[in-house]
Chains A and B, each alone.
Chain A
Amino acid sequence: MDILSGLLHGFQVALTAQNLMMCVIGVVLGTVIGVLPGLGPPATIAMLLPLTFKLDPTGAMIMLAGIYYGAKYGGSTTSILLNVPGESSSVVTCIDGHKMAVKGRAGPALGMAAIASFIAGTFGVIALMLVAPPLARLSLAFSSPEYFALMVLGLAMVVLLSGDSLVKALLAMLVGLWIATMGTDLFSTTSRFTFDRVELLGGIDFIIVAIGVFAVGEVLGNMEPAKPAEVLPVPKGFRNLLPSWEDLRRCRFAFVNGSLVGFLIGVLPGAGSTIASFMSYGIEKAVSKHPEEFGHGAIEGVAAPEGANNAETGGALVPLLTLGIPGSGTTAILLAALVLWGF
């Protein structure tokens, strides 16, 4: 009954015209900033946090939550249209999302990203309300061996994404591990592969590598004179701007997959939405009846990672709201905002 009375009070506070307007403003701002490649939710919230100082705390928190969800969704736009990931968890959306856009199905891809984000985000919020305390205790049970196993599982997804050559995929993964090792080792403070450059002491951020690989590759590919610059075909008719009923039917498992994987990964402090999106994509490809379509414009390859991306938001709020432990950079900024307002 406590949960129900708390929920009713929460809805009573949230469903006022002013707070709903704060939510709309937050979502729009978050989506617009999230579209910019390289600017993910942490940077977006950090930049827009000063805007909320003059608001009342409740409205400000609602606006920040709207910014959080909007920025999570916004990253898919450039992934699909430009093959440039908007943030680190939108990298895997580039694989199938852009292929769909090249085939003239950018509208359904963007629409499916929005629908999957909405469904999984709603699931994450409901799960947060209902099962936050026991899940928080479970997340505390995770320690170094479990996190290591989770990372190995994420790397094992390379097998599912390898395409024709497993050896080349593994070599690419090892090069990625080398780049990730650059910088200062956290435990021994040893500088590894910094080539005596001060700039490399802090390591190389993942999103910079992702943008470099995708965006620069896209520009270099368009330098070929043998073919004209690739202009995405514009779909004709309003119906072609939205996913079809068949698309929605195909993605019904992807919605469940993205919601569950994203939320559970998000509960673990430090796991991050990037691994959630990759795992969701790998699971979707593994159980698909048409795995050969993945990598060539499978709409499930957009729905699953984008759903996981947004469901992770609800999961990340579990340790923050129940234990006061920020599980990610974004929730750390939210915690700072809560402290500022005296919560």
Chain B
Amino acid sequence: MKPFLRSGDFWSGLALAALGTYIVVQARGWTYASEEGPGAGFFPLWYGSLMVVLSLFLVASSVLKPAKPGEIRWRDVSRALVCWAAFTASVALMPVLGFAISFALLAWFIVKVMCGEGHGTALAVAIGGAALFYGLFELALDVSLPRGLLF
């Protein structure tokens, strides 16, 4: 495998070039300028174009001067991605379960599964954390937490 294909700069540069292209395409569909001044498309067109230029520069530099490929610890990467997925699932479940239960489930998952603590510790952190947030925001500050269908 060519060294630049293992470079994070190469792939992130490509992703940002795609994002910049998307921004430029969207901006061209909006008004660039009018009698009142710059339109909705003015600013995005400029920074989108700059994003494309800089990201292609990043890609080119990673191809022409590939950095020494570092060791990728896939186990660590997978743990981070699993944690990220848990965050996403927690947010997705909030409209159904409400903040307190979703947060409690997320906290239990991180403490028990990711950190490898015992059942008691995980339950204490999950229930205690949810109760703390509920007490602080709902009861003390009278600020509503996101509610779900169940709670």
**A interface with B by C-beta (< 8 Å):** 33, 36, 47, 167-168, 170-171, 174-175, 177-178, 181, 185, 187-188, 190, 192-193, 216, 219-220, 223-226, 229
Contact = CB atoms under 8 A, between A and B. Distances in A.
Interface in B22-68: 23, 26, 30-31, 36-37, 39-40, 43-44, 47-48, 50-51, 54-55, 57-58, 61
Contacts of A33: 141
Contacts of A177: 43, 47
Contacts of A188: 30-31, 39-40
A181 B54 contact: no
A122 B130 CA distance: 39
Contacts of B48: 178
A174 B87 contact: no
A174 B40 contact: no
A174 B47 contact: yes
B58 A168 contact: yes
Contacts of A185: 40
Nearest to A191: B40
Contacts of B142: 47
Contacts of B30: 188, 190, 192
B125 to A, nearest CB: 13
A224 B44 CA distance: 37
A226 B76 contact: yes
B40 A225 contact: no
Contacts of B23: 178, 193
B151 interface: no
Given A178-B48, A181-B44, A190-B31, 10 more contacts: A33-B141, A167-B57, A167-B58, A171-B58, A174-B20, A175-B51, A178-B19, A187-B36, A188-B31, A219-B110
A174 B110 contact: no
Nearest to A181: B44
Most buried by B among A33, A47, A178, A193: A178
Given A167-B58, A190-B30, A223-B114, A175 B16 contact: yes
A199 to B, nearest CB: 11
B5 interface: no
Given A47-B142, A181-B44, A167 B54 contact: yes
Contacts of A220: 80, 83-84
A226 B57 contact: no
Q: Lowest 4 CB-CB distances: which A-B pairs, in order?
A: A190-B40, A185-B40, A174-B51, A220-B80
A188 B26 CA distance: 16
B115 interface: yes
A192 B23 CA distance: 10
B73 interface: yes
B83 A219 contact: yes
Contacts of A36: 136
A185 B37 CA distance: 13
A317 B51 CA distance: 38
Contacts of B36: 187
A174 B54 contact: yes
21 contacts: A47-B142, A168-B9, A168-B58, A171-B51, A171-B54, A174-B54, A177-B43, A177-B47, A185-B40, A187-B36, A188-B40, A190-B31, A192-B30, A193-B26, A193-B44, A216-B84, A220-B84, A223-B80, A224-B76, A224-B80, A225-B79
A156 to B, nearest CB: 14
Given A170-B54, A171-B51, A175-B16, A216 B73 contact: no
Contacts of A190: 30-31, 39-40
B75 interface: yes
Most buried by A among B31, B40, B44: B40
Contacts of A223: 76, 79-80, 83, 114
Contacts of A226: 73, 76
Contacts of B139: none
Given A181-B43, A185-B40, A47 B80 contact: no
Nearest to A193: B26
Contacts of B54: 167, 170-171, 174
A177 B51 CA distance: 11
B150 interface: no
A186 to B, nearest CB: 10
B72 interface: no
A151 B16 CA distance: 24
B1 interface: no
B143 interface: yes
